[in-house]
Amino acid sequence: MDLLTYCKRLPKIELHAHLTGSLSDATVLQLLEVKREQLGEHHLPDSAEVTIRQGHNRSLEECFKVFGILHYLSDSLEAVENITRNVIQEFAADNVWYLELRTTPKHIPGKMTKKQYMDTVLKVVRSEMEHNKITVRLLLSVDRSRGVEDAHTTLALAKHYRVSTEYKDLVCGLDVSGNPHVGSLLDYIPVLEEAKKCGLKLAVHLAEVPNEDEVQAILNAGLVDRIGHGTFLHPGSGGTQDHLTVVRNKLIPLEICLSSNVKSGTVKTVEQHHFARWKELKHPLIICTDDKGVFCTTLSEEYYLCAKTFSLPEEDIQDLCLQAVEATFMNQKEKTILRQTVQNELKSLQGKLLM
């Protein structure tokens, strides 16, 4: 098998995927069509505004404008249902066996409450798991640009699901994301502390842009289970030795999003990505898409890009799949089952990669 085919065949685990950022071109076109029927041609964004074609880049600020457009296009419960269904089916078609999807609960006056938004997402997750070979779990996203009060309502909702009979098995934690240039993570520490007390796992976007104080405070608080990006943590990539030591000692996995970082310009080239520095240290690293729609990628392509750029031998590629299993927010029993099935599949692929 050639490398790309091999990466497509790998049993993959996706741990960092934002629902709205994962919308494919086909889904964006469907949403545009619905809006066109409702509103006519006026003021509709062009679909080219919404995705990043192969070889094109967008700054982080421009990406956040794109999220705004995507939110506008998916501002009904019917749209939320469709986007959730499409995104799960697309990950399943890419041979993703386990998906931790994250999304910001949205309150749109007159259209949906945060609970209605999440109930809709969860209902679709449940039904898609019955029809596809994929296990899905949810992280509720706290958007750092929306303020602490908003974060508390998201936490309250996550707590509600944790004790609900219907969805407690599907909601596993919180994500903290949003524009890293807006607000301060320090303000969110009490929310994270409370979340942790309630048994919620925490994945936090950290050091996506340089911000030493924030990194220091979050690492000192000792609450984070996985780090999103961690671009400016390693002293070789603009971080400090102290940060490196804490993250290494606690073996906090890093969610690595190669295309996202390069296309949004926080990392210059894939070759210069911090993946290489952390890999040298044998640190747990998880290959993820971040926003497969906005950055025009798939998880298979991210594995391919990583393996090709860093000349990874087959053993290392397979090891990335297994590291991802260990970093999931599943309980030990579920993890054991997933590990076993992934290992069996990896074994059946062994030796089939033509280097």
- Residue numbers of the site for ligand IMP (CB under 6 A)? 18-21, 67, 103-104, 141, 143, 177-178, 205, 208, 260, 290-291
**Residue 33: active-site member:** no
Q: Report what 261 binds from Zn ion, ligand IMP, none; CB cut-off 5-8 Å by kind.
A: none
The smaller minimum CB distance to ligand IMP, of residues 21 and 183, is found at: 21
Q: Which does 141 bind (CB under 5 to 8 A by kind): Zn ion, ligand IMP, none?
A: ligand IMP
Side-chain half-sphere CA neighbours of 213 within 13 A: 5
Strands across the sheet containing 201-206: 12-18, 96-103, 135-143, 171-177, 201-206, 226-229, 254-256, 285-287
The Cα–Cα gap between 247 and 17 comes to: 22
Residue at token pair 């602490």: 148
Catalytic residue among 90, 100, 208, 214: 208
208 binds, among ligand IMP, Zn ion, none (CB under 5 to 8 A by kind): ligand IMP
Shortest Å, Cβ 241 to ligand IMP: 25
Instruction: Provide the 10 A C-beta neighbour count for residue 54.
Output: 7
Residues found near Zn ion in the complex (CB under 5 A): 290
Chain centroid to CA 45: how far? 25
As a whole number of angstroms, the distance between CA 234 and CA 236 comes to 5
For tokens 């608080």, name the residue.
Answer: 221
Task: Kindly state the smallest distance separating residue 177's Cβ from ligand IMP, in Å.
Answer: 3
Nearer to Zn ion, 128 or 290 (CB): 290
Task: Return the number of the residue (195 or 353) whose C-beta is nearest Zn ion.
Answer: 195
Q: 333 φ, ψ to 5°?
A: -65, -45
CB of 349 to Zn ion, least distance (A): 29
Minimum distance from residue 156 beta carbon to ligand IMP (Å): 17
Q: Which residues are catalytic?
A: 208
